[in-house]
């Protein structure tokens, strides 16, 4: 990818206040020349992300918004377009999660999760689409989860995604279906619509604390840079085949043979280049097996990916 791959483009990234995936994607988009709008509930967190982007010379517009509130989010796209211009790249990263048994979810909790995980991406895409169609180009990327996939069984894995992922998994499954439906409707228009799943738990600052405390196996993780690199591939693609994908980060980077760079887009990230990824996938599979998830959907997908690599 060229250094300024997003020069002249406007991007909106949701959920960019906690120093996690949304923040990292916004930083990389800005480093690649995009004018970036960021949104989340936390003004303080947005200020930290804004400062980080400005420190690297990027242009950024921060707007606090609770995406669970339909009234707040309805004016978001218009505010961004008034400030920065038409949105070329929409990254729906914000998410509401949680694991607990099916019978314990309240209607209020379920409605809030659907608002953030389904209706917010839906409405933001609806509002950004007219401008994309007019310009004949656009990129919509929805961040999703492996929990959207059906748990393998019976017998079912005893892991949280299988045993307590009903609400979160259902919302992400809906997001995936919406992604593919919109891809079908925009085919041939110059607009790329895809969803991206982390291959493993992304090593955000919050999860790093759990790893360092010994609560999570270190091999469960991938760095934020690999997830961001895969996002960049889907937010800049000119390849019509990369449309309507529910992509997995490391599998996509392997497929493309794409190097992983840091969040400034400058330096290669050690141990996470295409040649390293099969070994990383094997380590992740081992972590699932040690955790008792050898029969889960995540382990099954890793087996398929590794088999595909061996057969190349």
Ramachandran assignment for 292, one of left (phi > 0), alpha (psi -120 to 50 degrees), beta (any other): left
How does DSSP assign the chain, residue by residue? --TTTTTT-EEEEES-SSSSHHHHHHHHHHHTT-EEEEEES-HHHHHHHHHHHHHTT--EEEEE--TT-HHHHTTHHHHHHHHH-S-SEEEE---------GGG--HHHHHHHHIIIIIHHHHHHHHHHHHHHHHT-EEEEEE--GGGSPPPTTTTP-SHHHHH-HHHHHHHHHHHHHHHHHHHHHTTTTEEEEEEE-SSEE--HHHHHHHHTTSS-GGGEE-HHHHHHHHHHHHH---TTSSS-EEEHHHHHHHHTPPPB-TTS-SBPTT-SGGGHHHHHHHHHHHHHHTT-TTSHHHHHHHHHHHHHHT-
Q: Which residues are catalytic?
A: 168
Judge whether 159 and 293 are in contact, CB under 8 Å.
Answer: yes
- How far from the centroid of its chain's Cα atoms is residue 63's Cα? 20
Length of the chain as a residue count: 312
Whole-number Å distance between alpha carbons of 158 and 130: 45
């Amino acid at each position: 990818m060229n250094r300024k791959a997003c020069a002249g483009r406007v991007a909106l990234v949701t959920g960019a206040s906690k120093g996690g995936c949304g923040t990292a994607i916004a930083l990389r988009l800005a480093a690649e020349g995009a004018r970036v709008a960021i949104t989340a509930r936390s003004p303080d967190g947005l200020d930290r992300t804004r400062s980080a982007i400005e420190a690297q010379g990027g242009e950024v517009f921060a707007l606090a918004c609770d995406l669970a509130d339909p009234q707040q989010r309805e004016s978001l796209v218009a505010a961004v377009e008034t400030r920065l211009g038409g949105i070329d790249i929409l990254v729906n990263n914000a998410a509401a999660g949680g694991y607990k048994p099916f019978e314990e979810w309240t209607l209020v909790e379920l409605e809030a999760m659907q608002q953030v995980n389904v209706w917010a991406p839906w409405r933001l895409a609806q509002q950004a689409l007219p401008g994309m169609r007019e310009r004949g180009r656009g990129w919509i990327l929805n961040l999703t989860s492996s929990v959207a996939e059906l748990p393998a069984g019976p017998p079912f894995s005893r892991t949280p995604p299988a045993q307590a992922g009903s609400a979160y998994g259902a919302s992400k499954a809906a997001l995936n279906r919406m992604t593919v439906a919109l891809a079908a409707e925009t085919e041939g228009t110059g607009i790329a619509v895809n969803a991206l799943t982390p291959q493993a738990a992304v090593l955000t600052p919050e999860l790093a604390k759990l790893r360092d405390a010994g609560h999570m196996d270190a091999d469960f993780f991938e760095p934020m840079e690999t997830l961001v690199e895969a996002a960049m591939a889907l937010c800049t693609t000119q390849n019509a085949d990369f449309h309507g994908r529910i992509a997995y980060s490391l599998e996509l980077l392997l497929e493309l043979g794409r190097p992983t760079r840091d969040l400034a887009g400058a330096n290669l990230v050690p141990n996470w280049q295409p040649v390293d990824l099969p070994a990383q996938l094997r380590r992740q599979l081992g972590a699932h097996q040690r955790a008792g998830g050898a029969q889960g959907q995540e382990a099954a997908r890793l087996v398929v990916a590794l088999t595909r690599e061996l057969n190349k």
